Structure formats: structure tokens, C-alpha cells
Amino acid sequence: MTSVPTADPAGTVLEGRYRVDGLLARGGMSVVHRGSDLRLDRPVAIKILDRGLAADPAFVRRFEREARAAARLAHPGVVAVHDQGRDADGTVFLVLELVEGGTLRDVLRDQGRLHPAAALTVIEQVVTALQVAHDRGLVHRDVKPENVLVGTDGSVKVADFGLVAAAWETDAPDPTDPEGSGEMVLGTVAYLAPEQVTDGRADARSDLYAAGIVLFELLTGVPPHGGDDAVAVARRHVHHDVPPPSSVVGGIPRALDRLVLAATQRDPDARLADAGAFMAAVRGVRMDADLPYHPVPPPPRRTGTAGSRPLRGTRLLDLDGAPHEAPRTGRRPWDDEPWDDEPEDADDEGDDLTDEPDDDHGPGPDSGPTVRRRPDGAVDDVDVAIERIERRRARSRSRRLLGAWLLLVSIATVAAGAAGWGLGLPG
């Protein structure tokens, strides 16, 4: 896939109506700018498509059709589509509702992971939005934290309906061309359902699988599958079950484990049947685990330039060759072992990924350790991440050694006192 052009469109006016302002996010298929509707005098978000996609007439036709379908999704949990158009210079764009805040990825970067009750609040709103789309025959195909917007008031909205569907159809397998695009998979590998990997098939249950993966990450701070590259991650979705979140972070209610496992069964027929069943299961978890409504933490305020932390977008993946824009991934201790096998030194292994939160970040949720990882196992700066992990391990070991030393000193003091008291007794 060609890359989004680097020329900065800020300051231009599309179709004489929409002024393009500062960059908000960058993905694999588009860039998103803050903008203004000059006719209605309101702020908007403007998604400008990749030039390569915009030059494909088949894609543009599908995109326009899907944009019209997405515009009919009038629901507070779905980012509203206001308009779509093509400027005289060939720029193809969408005009969207502007959500002041950030993405669920920003929240995860800031929080590490969420309290189980807050995680349920997020996934409830995501699945409710998916249900609205599924009822109208739309499948998202790329549910991930980057496509979930969180407002400054904690509201949750799902974005990118339509665009992903149009691109998916553009890259669908051609039965007359066995050597063609049949081996291409659209989506972000950390959240792909197995059927999307094996044959490019996606339906409502694929979205629910991705929602289950997002819930796992909200609870633990990491996605369930990692690997050396995007292909390895995708294959793990096909060949490995998603583990219970409580096997990664302690203190997670078993009812939440059961919900995640029900949503992420590798066989689509064994999954939760639809979004309604998912929501019913969420309500059951709230009652079983006594997890009442908990507000969603707002994303941190943006600092620096608006585009300083571009978002990773949907990408194409060649399962028989090198991945296109393959994400960086970090191997985790469980990636090559069955989940029910305990490491010989579970304490030391766990220190690699899970430990007490850094003192300068304040306390995390009241159950389990804080984990800070990107959705595909990548981190913002590998060297900094390794250094942070080593510091945590060193602090943890120092605390254990200090505790053992204090215990020995206490035992020796008590023993000496007892011996002195015994020697002082009359014969």
C-alpha cells in the first residue's frame, strides 16, 4: 500500500467549504486533521485518504458507498459522518464529528491498564456501537484501541466504519487469480480474528473477537498474542487460544475470564453469537463479580504538536512473505509455551513484564501489576523500555533482599534475647 502523502494540507480549503487545520492522527490509509466547516461554522475532523487509494476508482466507488452507509449510523456511540467528497486536486476525504479528547490507546498509554469495572464500561459502549452497525449490515473489521475515541468527559465512540469495509473489499481474494491478493489480510494483527487471517472472511463475530481482545488488553495492559513479526502474531491467533486475563494479572474476577474466553473462541460458531449476547454476558459479569458502573478515565491532555504521536493504522499483511509495515513486536515469556505451563521461576519471569508501578506514575488499579505495552507488543522506545524493566527488577530484588535481611536480623535478635534471658535464670 502506498503511503499517505507527506505534503501538509493544513491551511487548504476542500471543495470551498472545509478548511484543513492541524494534524490529529496518522494511519496506514489516511491522515486526520482538525478542521472547520466554513458554511455551518462548526469544528469538524477531516480524514484525508491516501493518494494511492484515492487514485483507485474501484476503491473510491466502494468508499463512497460505505460512507453513505456509515452516515446512517446515527448513534451516540458512533463517530458521526457528516460528509464525504473529492476536491478538484483529487483529494478524497471524509468530514467527521470532532471528538475532543483522544483514543483508547492514549488512555492505555496513560493508565497502563484499567480497573475491571472501567474496562467493562468501555467494552459495553464499544459493543453497543457494534450492535447498531451489525443490525444495519455493517461490519467494522478493524476494532482496536486506535479506532475507539474517548472524549474529555469519558464518553466512548467507535470510529472508522465504512473506510475499513471499502478497503477490505478492494483487497478481497480474487477467485480467478490464485497468485493474487488472496493471501492478503487487512487489519491490525494484534486484533485479527482467526478467520480473517486464514481466508479473509469477516462477519459480526469477527468484530466481537476483536472486542474480546481489546477487553483482554484493557484488563492486563498487553494483548494476548505477540511474536517476532506481524506474521507470527497473526498465526498465533489461528493456532493458540486466548488465555484468561487472570493468568497475566492477578485479582481479575473469573467471570471476566469467562467473558473474554467466550468472545475470543477461535471457532466463530463457538463464540458469543452476536453483540446482544455479548451485552447480556457483560450484564451477567457485572452482577456475578459485583462490578458496578465505573467512569472511563479521560485521555491525557495533548502536549506539543497535535501530530506528535501518530496513530498506527490498518495495514496489509502478506502471510507468505514479508509483512507490509509490520509492527514491532516484543516476545513475552508465554509466546512459545502453553498457557497452563508455569515457568520454573515464575517470580523472576514475571518481573520482565509485570511488576509494581513506577513510583513517579502513582499507584495503579488495586489488583495486579501495571503493564505498559503497545497493542502488538511494541513500545515507544525499546531502549527506554528495557532500562525501565531492569530498574524495576533491580528494585524488586533489592526489596526482597532487604526483607530477608531484616527477617534474619529480627530472628537473631529474638534468639539472642531469649538466650540472655535463659542465662539469667537462677540455677
User: Which of the residues are catalytic?
Assistant: 142
The whole-angstrom separation of Cα 377 and Cα 354 is: 14
Instruction: Give the position of cell 469477516.
Output: 202
The whole-angstrom separation of Cα 332 and Cα 74 is: 41
Q: How many CB atoms are located within 10 Å of the residue 107 CB?
A: 26
The whole-angstrom separation of Cα 114 and Cα 256 is: 13
Share of the chain residues as helix, strand and coil, in percent rounded to the nearest 5: 40, 15, 45
The whole-angstrom separation of Cα 176 and Cα 174 is: 5
The whole-angstrom separation of Cα 165 and Cα 203 is: 11
At 37 the three-state DSSP class reads strand
- Residue 313's identity, in one-letter code, is G
Give the angle 390-394-398 at the CA atoms, nearest 5°.
175
The whole-angstrom separation of Cα 246 and Cα 289 is: 14
> Do 300 and 101 form a contact (C-beta atoms < 8 A)?
no
Handedness of CA 327, 181, 7, 165 (dihedral sign): negative
CA neighbor of 318 nearest in space, from 177, 135, 181: 181
CA neighbor of 99 nearest in space, from 53, 152, 62: 152
How far is the first Cα of the chain from the last one, in angstroms, to the nearest whole number? 94
> Do 30 and 95 form a contact (C-beta atoms < 8 A)?
no
CA neighbor of 158 nearest in space, from 187, 188, 131, 190: 131
H or E stretch including 83? strand 81-86
Report DSSP state, residue 88.
T
Report DSSP state, residue 191.
G
